[in-house]
Structure 1
């Protein structure tokens, strides 16, 4: 799938993340201690067993077939995707990472940095830093922090109750405390630690990386070192300071590095886009490409040899 289609996947999954509780596609109702899935009550048969409508064997089968088996299949399918394609969920679907990229771009407009912790600015040729974007950056961080807290609460309580309480000011003290603390925590994370959380704090991303690293055939970004000279003067309109692939990576990685140093790569393909844009402008083929399967194994072995030799 071409990287240019990634935004469509991100927008679609972001919308799904927001509306799923309202449509009862996925949520856990604390009032009823009830899981809702695809608009239906997902029951294990425990209530029927207590009421004497089914026997112990039927109850055990219900727990196995509707509880353990679907959960194990979902986890297995998720890890199978990570085994082959790495953290593709993070780069192509994750709502949090979508916001990270938006905030990166907004902060860069304000101070020409992709993070508050960058030591030096990386200005873009087409626009200088503009302090008027600072309120936008902090405003978006607070807005998405609040949206995250509200959405998570709607996965635990009926969304109509949550949103109705916000609109009419009828939230319970516990609901208000959850939203206040959640908004503060998520807003601070968006402002200060969004990259750190994605790289090391997210369990979903961490397990994807671990599974991917264990598979030598997993998809990798391959660098054609025979054309390393083509990287000299590499620049695009967006990244005019050179090293366009490095500057374009939202995870602050160096895409031309070996796999074991690309642990938190989210396979977003932005480095490949930057490389393709830069090299195409000079009539050359890109030096970065995705490789998978046997090609990925050969790339990994070659990287290891060059790393030892270096």
Structure 2
């Protein structure tokens, strides 16, 4: 019996250690995709991969002018039918393809763009980690400091000296975002050249000053609120995800909820969106599918013979998670959860 339990525990431990792809942990993959997309975000206008040039009054895509093809129509060189066809082929269909792809991915897997690619969210997480070192909290609005202990057993002690890193970091990101956004609207060579030579035009200087101030306030005080309620891309992803009960979601083994008593709510503390991962799907509207709560549970429940309590689920298991009643989830005491689960099954 003991050998069987030991073998089972060993299998669980091996499974947790290899959670990822090609031997690379999930979070490392996520860091790589975030870093890669952030660099793409910064350099896309520089290399004319994608930008809107207000001087030329049209988009540039992979070095080519991307227009709606209406110039010939206004000049009397094309018919109304040709102009309409250009609108469909160059405007409507590309827009439908991009939006449709985003909605489908979100409908099936949730806010993957937010958690794995979004250059704004990578800034959010970077500030979270640095702020935690300064005040022990990932947000100024967290009610209590989180434990110094990390799920893997290491510690992140708080020290006020980290404020000397937090403020410059927020200012730096705010300024970078302001400059990058301006390069999506005006020729990057002009903007970076004017910055280097100190010859910004009045309008450019006003834009950069106002945008930097706005981003500083948002990054410092409202970055999570923006991701939850103000970002249109995130909102539409969440709506698509909530519309599919079988979409991938983090599932919680409520029948073993009493095992959480041995933990310090590690999954709650690591969530970069400041959510409670053990909650039901409808209360996880802003989940970005980063998987940090799953990894945290892997570490804290390493010796649990029942296995980790948080796992990615989909299809029928996800449907059950989506259908779980919010009030019922809140009224099941951790110590009584197995009893309630048995009654439900009977």
Distance 1:257 1:127, change over 3 A: closer
Bigger drift between 14-23 and 128-137 goes to: 128-137
Distance 1:212 1:127, change over 3 A: closer
Determine the structure 2 residue equivalent to 1:238: none
Determine the structure 2 residue equivalent to 1:163: 192
Aligned counterparts of 1:302 and 1:260: Cα–Cα separation in 2 = 9
Is the Cα–Cα contact under 8 Å of residues 252 and 310 in structure 2 kept in the other structure? yes
The question of 1:33 aligning with 2:62 is answered no
Secondary structure of the structure 2 residue equivalent to 1:274? helix
Larger radius of gyration: 2
Is the Cα–Cα contact under 8 Å of residues 87 and 209 in structure 1 kept in the other structure? yes
Determine the structure 2 residue equivalent to 1:57: 81
Q: How does 1:1-310 map to 2 (within 5 A)?
A: 2=20, 3-4=26-27, 5-125=29-149, 126-234=155-263, 242-281=264-303, 285-303=307-325, 306-307=328-329
Give unpaired runs (5+ residues) of structure 2.
1-18, 21-25, 150-154, 333-346
Bigger drift between 290-299 and 196-205 goes to: 290-299
What's the C-alpha RMSD, in Å, of the aligned pairs? 1.8
Deviation for aligned residue 1:306: 4.1
Is the Cα–Cα contact under 8 Å of residues 281 and 321 in structure 2 kept in the other structure? no
Deviation for aligned residue 1:284: 5.4
Distance 1:256 1:166, change over 3 A: same
Give unpaired runs (5+ residues) of structure 1.
235-241
Deviation for aligned residue 1:308: 9.2
Deviation for aligned residue 1:233: 1.9
Bigger drift between 129-138 and 117-126 goes to: 117-126
Deviation per CA, 1:20-57: give whole Å up to 9, x if none.
00111110000010210122111221112233433222
Distance 1:31 1:184, change over 3 A: same
Aligned counterparts of 2:32 and 2:109: Cα–Cα separation in 1 = 19
Is the Cα–Cα contact under 8 Å of residues 26 and 35 in structure 1 kept in the other structure? yes
How many aligned residue pairs are there? Answer: 303
Distance 1:305 1:116, change over 3 A: closer
Aligned counterparts of 1:284 and 1:292: Cα–Cα separation in 2 = 20
Is the Cα–Cα contact under 8 Å of residues 123 and 129 in structure 1 kept in the other structure? no
Secondary structure of the structure 1 residue equivalent to 2:60? strand
TM-score of the pair, normalised by structure 1:
0.93
Is the Cα–Cα contact under 8 Å of residues 136 and 158 in structure 2 kept in the other structure? yes
